[in-house]
Amino acid sequence: MTSPGSRRRGAQPGRAAMSAMELMTTIAVAVLLAGMSVASLLPALRRGKVAEAASTIDAANQEARTRARLEPSGDTVTYGVRLVGNVQPNRVEVLRNDASGVEVIQRFDFNRNVQIHQGDNPLAGTMEWYFQPRTGYPLDATQQITAIGAVLPGDPRHLSLRTHDGRNRYGVAIYEIGLVSAEVF
């Protein structure tokens, strides 16, 4: 029988320590799994940023619409929404328009990876619409009740949000009654 001090350390059954090779292998496997997780997570994050931008347009639209519905019908104040596509980051603004001019009362910037498109091209300037006092129906520049972006993809009037690579797309439409519809296409 050997005494406990005469045994070699590496030969002990149930030892508690790891060798350097085992430690390096464990770290390599952990790094590999983390890399695979990040690679699969990035597309989901991009989709989320486009969905967040669509929700932001909806929130701005509802804010302007609610303010317009609270205005007396004879008042000259209107509230609206402006999409700004000619600056980075693209953004949406809630507007107040009266005799003294247009005032931005709220501004929401999108993620830098999200672009506003009209038809197949990025929005080169701005797009805005206002809401009729009391009813909250959207008006175009000619003061006609209209739908915004409510056409098929590929149509030059179609409104969408996209990532720079074009893989993630949300069609956005504001219907004649003022409600927003956003869907993946």
CA distance 58 to 52: 10
Report whether 116 contacts 60 (CB < 8 A): no
**Residue 99, pLDDT above cutoff 60:** yes
User: Which residue has better confidence, 91 or 99?
Assistant: 91
For residue 130, the domain's CATH number is 3.55.40.10
Residue 10 pLDDT: 53
Asked whether residue 33 is assigned to any structural domain, the reply reads yes
Q: How many domains does the chain have?
A: 1
Q: For residue 111, give its domain range.
A: 19-184
10 Å CB burial of residue 84 (0-12, 13-18, 19+) is buried
Q: Which residue has the tokens 């509802």?
A: 62
Residue 115 pLDDT: 95
Buried b (16+ CB within 10 A) or exposed e, 3-41: eeeeeeeeeeeeeeeeeeeeeeeeeeeeeeeeeeeeeee
Residue 149 pLDDT: 86
Backbone angles phi, psi at 156, to 5 degrees: -65, -15
User: Mean pLDDT, the chain, as a whole number?
Assistant: 86
Q: Which residue has the tokens 């989901």?
A: 44
For range 131-159, the mean pLDDT: 82
10 Å CB burial of residue 90 (0-12, 13-18, 19+) is buried
Asked whether residue 9 is assigned to any structural domain, the reply reads no
Asked whether residue 88 is assigned to any structural domain, the reply reads yes
Asked whether residue 172 is assigned to any structural domain, the reply reads yes
Asked whether residue 4 is assigned to any structural domain, the reply reads no
Confidence band (pLDDT; 50, 70, 90) for 15? low
Q: What percent of the chain has pLDDT over 90?
A: 47
Residue 72 pLDDT: 80
